[in-house]
Amino acid sequence: MVKVHERKFVSADPEKCVGCQICEYTCSFTKEKAFNPLKSRIRVVRVNQLANMAVTCRLCEAPACVAACPRDALTQSEDTGNIVLDKDKCNGCGWCIEACDYGAIMLHPETKVVYVCDMCKDKADGPQCVKWCPEEAITVVTSDVLAQKARIGAIKKLFQEPEEKK
């Protein structure tokens, strides 16, 4: 069993993300052999030209989607932290969708059950969006690594020469 804070998930860096949606195409092609953003487990948001970000499941420590499901169709894998769906139990009610703060779990347009990132568990080289992102904006991280990065960034800024600060 993996310790919770070592759980790996896919995260995009908004500084690097350019909103190209290649991750969406990659995901839908990998999972469904079709180019269709509506079938992608990762979705791109462009709030305005300056704010671009790809969003997918963060494998939360206390996943609200799992808690919200009245039919116990969703569970979290103890091994990987992945959100796992029991298709037979899901009736597409959408409570998990409402519960997720990130819009990371969605209703599939054809199967009518929910779907969510599974970290490309069947792929030897891991999440395909990470592999394809031309900006290297998407990486597999742990919450520890995110905290480390934030920490290093903050300290770097602290020790910057005044004129470099912008």
Provide the minimum distance between the beta carbon of 54 and another protein in the complex, in angstroms, as a whole number: 12
Number of amino acids touching another protein (CB under 8 A): 26
- Contact between 17 and 89 under an 8 Å Cβ cutoff? The reply is no
Distance (Å, rounded) from C-alpha 106 to C-alpha 99? 11
**Contact call for residues 26 and 158 (beta carbons, < 8 A):** no
Instruction: Report yes or no: 57 and 11 within 8 Å, Cβ to Cβ.
Output: no
- Pairwise CA distance, residues 97 & 64, whole Å: 9
Residue closer to another protein, measured from CB, 33 or 165: 33
Question: Closer to another protein at the Cβ: 74 or 138?
Answer: 138
Q: What minimum distance in Å lies between the beta carbon of 16 and another protein?
A: 11
**In sequence order, what are the residues at sequence separation of 6 or more whose Cβ sits closer than 8 angstroms to the Cβ of residue 125?**
131
Between 50 and 62, name the residue whose CB sits nearer to another protein.
50
Position 124 contacts another protein (CB under 8 A): no
Considering only residues 37-56, where is the footprint of another protein by CB under 8 A?
37-39, 46, 48-50, 52
Sequence-ordered list of residues with C-beta below 8 angstroms from that of 36, at least 6 positions apart, any chain: 28
Least Å distance, CB 52 to another protein, is 6
Strands 83-85 and 43-48: unpaired
Instruction: Please report how close the Cβ of residue 66 comes to another protein at its closest, in angstroms.
Output: 26
Residues that bind another protein (CB under 8 A): 18-22, 25-26, 28-29, 32-39, 46, 48-50, 52, 109, 132, 134-135
